[in-house]
Amino acid sequence: MVVLGVDPGFGFSGYSIFNENRGIVILLECGLIRLKSSDSLATRIKIFYDHFLLLIERFSIEKINLETSFLYKNPQVFLKLGYLRGILYLIAAQKTIIIEEFTPKQIKLIITGSGSASKEQVARVLLKLFPRIQSFDKDDISDAVAIGLSGIWSKKN
Amino acid sequence: MVVLGVDPGFGFSGYSIFNENRGIVILLECGLIRLKSSDSLATRIKIFYDHFLLLIERFSIEKINLETSFLYKNPQVFLKLGYLRGILYLIAAQKTIIIEEFTPKQIKLIITGSGSASKEQVARVLLKLFPRIQSFDKDDISDAVAIGLSGIWSKKN
């Protein structure tokens, strides 16, 4: 099973790619995509689409995992986050792969055993699990790793 | 200039297609796309994408117009509306056509001359302008016609 975890955003999008085979979980790749604010909204959305389509084809991704978003601050920023999420749903349908979401609480519970764990605690657990990662440059990456690993460890599908 | 006006929604999406040539404005088509709630979110998004891509190619659309959305009720419904809007931005970038938004107030002002006009007043003006339309079956259609016509009448581009 090859799973892609994504934490989408118009500034930075974090992503992780996991392979699971008979209980052995390997983190194949994790990283960041940066969208330039100097590009138009439409251009940034197309770059996001092209990038993830390529990634999904190259790694033969079988499942996409996302974190469910909740409205915290600006509704217009929240709406535009939906633009990027919609792109991932489109790709899932185009490539007939599964797409599923977890709430932040579910992810914390799956990774640390506690739904009320802090972001830092989640990151610490991930660094222990995957010692080849020295540190996470940005929260977007550790979030994406947590999301992808949740997709591997949960038995939803 | 051929303009597509869209009022996207997961239940019904209204659309309108206008042609303007030397000041003569023709409403080529208006209608409704229905997405079935029995389909998965990803499937509905793909159907939406395929439908509008086809429409844009068939009519050689040069500009897409949308109404700016504001948060009124459920944030999760609002976020998912973003999924569909993002698809239209993607198509705009893929086909290198313009996409622009108007606020509800701007649309009312462009169509009726008053930014505080009622929905009914906007619909009455549209029926007078395009007498071949007997009535609007749904608000989604009259909204889409108002959005498309705003794209024609405004001199943004």
Chain CA centroid to CA B149, Å = 9
* Band of pLDDT at residue B73, cut at 50, 70 and 90: confident
* Chain A, nearest residue to B90 by Cα: A46
- The alpha carbon of residue B69 is apart from the nearest alpha carbon of chain A, in Å, by 8
Q: Which domain holds residue A140?
A: 2-153
Between A156 and B120, where is the model more confident? Answer: B120
Q: Tell me what pLDDT residue A157 has.
A: 43
- Out of A39, A50, A57, A137, the active site residue is A137
Taking the CA of residue A8 and the nearest CA in chain B, the distance in Å comes to 13
Q: Is A6 exposed, middle or buried (0-12, 13-18, 19+ CB in 10 A)?
A: buried
B113 interfaces chain A, CB cutoff of 8 Å: no
What does DSSP assign to residue B40?
Answer: -
Task: Tell whether the model's pLDDT for residue B155 goes beyond 80.
Answer: no
| pLDDT, tens only, B78-118 | 999 999 999 999 999 999 999 999 999 999 999 999 999 99
Q: Does B77 touch chain A (CB under 8 A)?
A: no
Q: Are B66 and A83 in contact (CB under 8 A)?
A: no
Closest chain A C-alpha to B89 CA, distance in angstroms: 5
Question: How much is the pLDDT for B14?
Answer: 97
Comparing CB atoms, the residue among A41, A71, A80 nearest residue B75 is: A71
Give the per-residue pLDDT at A72: 83
* Cβ <8 Å between A42 and B86: no
CB-based contacts of A148, cutoff 8 Å, min separation 6 = A3, A4, A5, A15, A16, A17, A18, A27, A30, A65
Does A103 lie at the interface with B, CB-CB under 8 angstroms? no
Here the ipTM equals 0.91
Sequence-distant (6+) residues with CB within 8 A of B149 are: B5, B16, B18, B25, B110, B111, B126, B129
pLDDT digits (tens, 9 = 90+) for B14-40: 999 999 999 999 999 999 999 999 999
Task: Give yes or no for residue B156 having a pLDDT over 80.
Answer: no
Task: Note whether A82 contacts B78, CB cutoff 8 Å.
Answer: yes
Which pair of tokens denotes residue A36? Answer: 């330039």
Residues 14-53 of A with CB under 8 A from B: 40-43, 45-46, 49
Q: For residues B6 and B92, what is the distance between their CA atoms, to the nearest angstrom? A: 13
From A84, which residue of chain B is nearest by alpha-carbon distance? Answer: B86
SS3 B10: coil
Tens digit of pLDDT for each residue in A56-78? 999 999 999 999 999 988 999 99
Spans of chain A, pLDDT less than 50: 157
Counting DSSP H helices and E strands in chain B, the numbers are 5, 5
Q: Are A82 and B87 inside 8 Å of each other by CB?
A: no
The number of folded domains in chain A is 1
pLDDT band, very low/low/confident/very high, at B47 (cuts 50, 70, 90): very high
**Which pLDDT score, from 0 to 100, does residue B137 have?**
87
CATH of the domain at B146: 3.30.420.10
- B157 pLDDT band, cuts 50/70/90, is very low
